[in-house]
Each structure stands twice: as C-alpha cells, then as structure tokens.
C-alpha cells in the first residue's frame, strides 16, 4: 500500500480560530501526511498550543492508504511568526470572513478571492432574478465556500414574494445555503408583520429558518420581538465610507440590537477591497464556524 495520502478536496477561506487542546489520532499536532515523494507539506514539532488566535486561509481534506480521512487547515500564526498546516480538530472557530454580491459584481471569480462564505442576491419582489445568480453561485460552490442566498423585499404580498424566492433557489438547496430576507428601502413601510410572514413561509417551504438583514438603526425603530426568537439577524453598520479589507472587530456605536442580543452576521462596509477583485465589495463577519453556518442551513450535527 502507498505511504502517501491523497488530497481529495481543497478550498480557500479566511476565518479566525483559536487553537484548542486537541491532539490528532496519533497524539501529535502536525501537517498532512506525505502527498508526494518530496516531503511533508510542513511540520510543527514540539509546539505547545495555548489558545493562540490564528487565521485559516486554506483547508485540505486528505485520504490515507488505510481509508482514513483528515481535514487540515493552513494557518497564519502571528505569535509563532510563521504559517503551517494543522489538524482542523485542533481549532475552535471564533468568526468567519466573507462578502455579499449581486448583479453589480457580475463576472466575479469567487475562487480567486479570500473568504469563507459568499452571500448572493437571488430575487427581488416577484418579478426580478439576479442575472448573475447562477454564475455567482457556481463560482462560490466550486471554490468550496459556504453559500448564502437572499431576496430583496418589495411591497407586494409577503407570501407571494417568499414563494417566488423559494421557486428560484430550490435547485441550490443541495448546496446547503443559508437564506436571508433583505429588509430595507420601501419594504420598511410594511413593518415586522410582513417580514415575519415572509420568514415563516420560507421556513415552511424549505425547513430552513432564514436570517433577516437590516440597518442597525432599524433594529430599534421597530418592534421585532415576534421575529427575533426564531430568526437571526444580519446587521449593517458602517464606521466610515473609506475602503477597507477584512476586519476582525468592526466598529459599532453600541451593542443594542433591539430584540436581538447579538447579530449572526455583521456587514461593516460597502467599500471593501480584496485581492482578486477590482471593484468594491460588501464585507461581512460571521460569528461562528462552518458547523454553525451549516446549522443555519438546516443541517443537523
């Protein structure tokens, strides 16, 4: 039998983790097994992992000759002053970085941009489908990133808008997306009752509990007590209009989110700048890890 492991998948990401006290099956924290006759990808020997905060930029899944699979993360460790591979089970996620896009980013190559997730606009009201949706979703999935899909609310019938959204995105449910209602603009005049009808209907049709997106000010301008217990918050609040990259602790003027104790996702700029794309992007911070994202997508652990 070959002594080498086979890489069966790989993806780019950008997430913040803390190193926890978890050894691999063989009792060590080390890099993936040999994947060629050259050498180990890297080895971390004799290091004590004490809760250092690291950034994960790549993930590889390997399969060894005995059939055992391992998932490894490539981390940048400021305290150690180097980057290395580590068993993913030694990491505890704190946040994930990502961005959202619509037809304005048509032609974007999500595999060329760092980030752990991409949220794509799907529909608006009952008569608009993002013409770049299919390519943006395909690019996200091919890159191994987590997927989100949202509908921009209008002022029509809430049930009809929910049905239109689900009809459009049902072919993507196999990719385990989280679902979101974008609540801004003219839709604000409809109030929380309309929003809850939409959220309930999407949940009934898909089994997934959507999030709701809104400006930070809207969380306190309306009474969301009927929505918050069952539907998470994606909040938007910008400190400045200046261009920025990913932020691990974005500014907020206070920690009051109305009926929500904390947001699930924080959008902190609409002028984000990331290598691999020449235009501006909305940048987002997700408070959780891959499993938390999957739970929001309706997967059980």
pLDDT of residue 264: 97
Q: Tell me: the pLDDT tens digits for 221-232?
A: 999 999 999 999
pLDDT of residue 46: 36
Note the pLDDT tens digit of each residue in 31-88: 433 333 333 333 333 333 445 677 888 777 777 777 777 777 787 877 777 777 777 7
* Percent of the chain whose pLDDT exceeds 70: 80
- pLDDT of residue 206 exceeding 80: yes
Lowest-pLDDT range of 16-20, 157-161, 170-174, 214-218: 16-20
d(CA 192, CA 179): 18
Q: So what's the pLDDT on residue 14?
A: 66
| CA-based torsion, 133, 134, 139, 142: positive or negative | positive
Say what the pTM is.
0.76
Supply the pLDDT for residue 13. 64
Domains, the chain: 6-93 (2.30.30), 102-296 (3.20.20.80)
* Pair 213, 249: CB distance under 8 Å: no
pLDDT at residue 286 tops 90: yes
Q: 199 pLDDT exceeds 50?
A: yes
Residue 301 has pLDDT above 90, yes or no: no
pLDDT at residue 76 in the model: 80
For range 16-25, the mean pLDDT? 48
Give me the half-sphere count of Cα atoms (radius 13 Å) on the Cβ side of residue 112: 8
Look at residue 83 in the predicted model and tell me its pLDDT. 79
pLDDT class of 196 with cuts at 50, 70, 90: very high
Which of 84-98, 266-280, 281-295 has the weakest average pLDDT? 84-98
* Confidence (pLDDT) at 58: 78
Mean pLDDT of 252-258: 92
Least confident range from 63-67, 166-170, 215-219, 244-248: namely 63-67
Q: Residue 26 above 50 pLDDT? A: no
pLDDT digits (tens, 9 = 90+) for 111-154: 999 999 999 999 999 999 999 999 999 999 999 899 999 999 99
Please tell me the predicted confidence (pLDDT) of residue 142: 92
């Amino acid at each position: 039998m070959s002594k080498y492991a086979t890489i069966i998948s790989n993806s780019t990401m950008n997430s913040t983790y803390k190193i926890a006290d978890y050894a691999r099956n063989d009792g060590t924290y080390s890099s993936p097994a040999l994947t060629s006759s050259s050498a180990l990808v890297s080895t971390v020997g004799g290091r004590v992992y004490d809760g250092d905060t690291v950034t994960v930029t790549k993930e590889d899944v390997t399969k060894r000759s005995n059939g055992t699979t391992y998932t490894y993360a490539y981390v940048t460790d400021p305290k150690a002053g180097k980057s290395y591979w580590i068993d993913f089970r030694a990491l505890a996620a704190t946040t994930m970085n990502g961005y959202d896009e619509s037809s304005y980013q048509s032609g974007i190559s999500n595999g060329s941009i760092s980030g752990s997730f991409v949220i794509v606009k799907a529909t608006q009201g009952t008569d608009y489908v993002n013409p770049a949706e299919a390519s943006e979703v395909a690019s996200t999935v091919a890159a191994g990133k987590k997927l989100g899909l949202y509908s921009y609310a209008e002022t029509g019938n809430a049930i009809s808008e929910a049905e239109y959204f689900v009809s459009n995105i049902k072919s993507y449910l196999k990719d385990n997306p989280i679902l979101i209602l974008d609540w801004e603009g003219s839709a604000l005049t409809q109030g929380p009752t309309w929003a809850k009808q939409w959220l309930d209907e999407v949940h009934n049709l898909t089994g997934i509990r959507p999030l709701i997106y809104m400006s930070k000010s809207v969380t306190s301008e309306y009474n969301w007590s009927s929505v918050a217990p069952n539907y998470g918050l994606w909040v938007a609040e910008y400190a400045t209009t200046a261009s920025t990259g990913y932020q691990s602790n974005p500014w907020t003027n206070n920690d009051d989110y109305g009926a929500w104790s904390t947001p699930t996702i924080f959008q902190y700029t609409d002028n984000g700048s990331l290598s691999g794309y020449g235009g501006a992007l909305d940048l987002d911070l997700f408070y959780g890890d891959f499993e938390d994202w999957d739970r929001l997508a309706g997967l059980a652990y």
